[in-house]
Amino acid sequence: MEKYLCINTITAIKVEMAQCLYLQATIALFSELDFTQEQEIEGFIEDSYDAQQITLQSIIDEIGKEDVKEIWKICDIRPGKKDHMHYIVISNEISFLCTCLTTISRGIICRHYFRVMMFSKVAGFHISMIPERWYQDVYQGKPLTQETGLIFLHENENLENNTNNDLEIRIPTRKAITIPKTVPIMKKAIEKRKKYGKLWGMACEATLLALESNDNEMELILQDYINKKKRNYEMISESNTEIEMEQNHINESTNISNEFQELGNIQNPLKAKTKGRPPTKRYRSSIEHEKGESSKSGCSSRNTYKCRICGQCGHNAAYHKNDKLKERQQ
């Protein structure tokens, strides 16, 4: 590990190795396990470091019962932590899952697995069990599957007389469910941060040297670099703008042709035939309502009465008969 891993990762793994001495590991059989029993936790599960983060039944469902080789029960022998209990399910020499999920969440081997390695003939260690993000820069992006052989803390009869080449051949493939996933976006962000730190350190050192020598060479170099990059960005932006304009023009022409095709499919609305004689009465306009239809008679509308005696509109000859009766009565 000191050859391939960074210092902080090695320190964290050494702590897990030291803590494994406080644990007791016993192998368990399927018939002896109670999958319905759940660990009682006071408060939130995230606040309890030694609490189970996943149930044993969930681990077996993920790995597959047919691929399970061993199940180990780990208990803490310290007085204040005897209730803390974990299970480790081993699939092959380098594939396992623990109910603490330290391998998935932190990407390091947990203390429970180190304790199991002292007693199990199946559990082993290989440098490929550590995620690549914890490797040194020299080994980033390089497969280390065949770099070293398997390491067993327990005496294994099958490996006593094997050579280095035999160990390399016998390295199994890890199950996908036991491998912690690294998001590519996070990896790119880490690389950018490292590059930023490296460039900033070089810039500070070059600035101090330029101030001590009192010359403008660094200023000219940086200005040329900035101008060059700006020109490249402008050319790229112009080309992108032209491409966008061409694409917009193509989209507009496509939309226009689609609209013409839709208009060509438009037909006259369907007419519904009604029963009986169609109406012949014409709807009058607003001008006809105001001025009236007949300008000679002076009447404002077509249906207004016109008197034949006085020639005025608004009444008929009966109106004058009433006037004559009133005169006779007087």
In this structure, is residue 257 part of a structural domain?
A: no
In this structure, is residue 2 part of a structural domain?
A: no
Residues 195, 132, single domain; the answer is: no
Residues 150, 197, single domain; the answer is: no
Q: Which domain holds residue 125?
A: 7-155
For residue 234, pLDDT over 50 is answered with: yes
Specify the pLDDT at position 160. Answer: 46
The whole-number average pLDDT for the span 200-208 is 89
For residue 294, pLDDT over 80 is answered with: no
Alpha-carbon 229 to chain mean position: 33
Residues 149, 191, single domain; the answer is: no
Residues 18, 121, single domain; the answer is: yes
Residues 151, 12, single domain; the answer is: yes
Nearest 10 degrees: Cα torsion 98, 36, 75, 77:
150
Region of poorest pLDDT, from 24-28, 290-294, 321-325:
290-294
How far apart are the C-alpha atoms of 138 and 168, rounded to whole Å? 22
Does the global pTM surpass 0.75? no
Per the structure, how many domains does the chain have? 2
In this structure, is residue 49 part of a structural domain?
A: yes
The whole-number average pLDDT for the span 139-145 is 73
Per-residue pLDDT band for 98 (boundaries 50, 70, 90) equals very high
Per-residue pLDDT band for 117 (boundaries 50, 70, 90) equals very high
Residues 198, 146, single domain; the answer is: no
Residues 107, 191, single domain; the answer is: no
Share of the chain above pLDDT 90, in %: 15
In this structure, is residue 39 part of a structural domain?
A: yes
Residues 12, 133, single domain; the answer is: yes
In this structure, is residue 40 part of a structural domain?
A: yes
Check if the beta carbon of residue 97 is closer than 8 Å to that of residue 177: yes
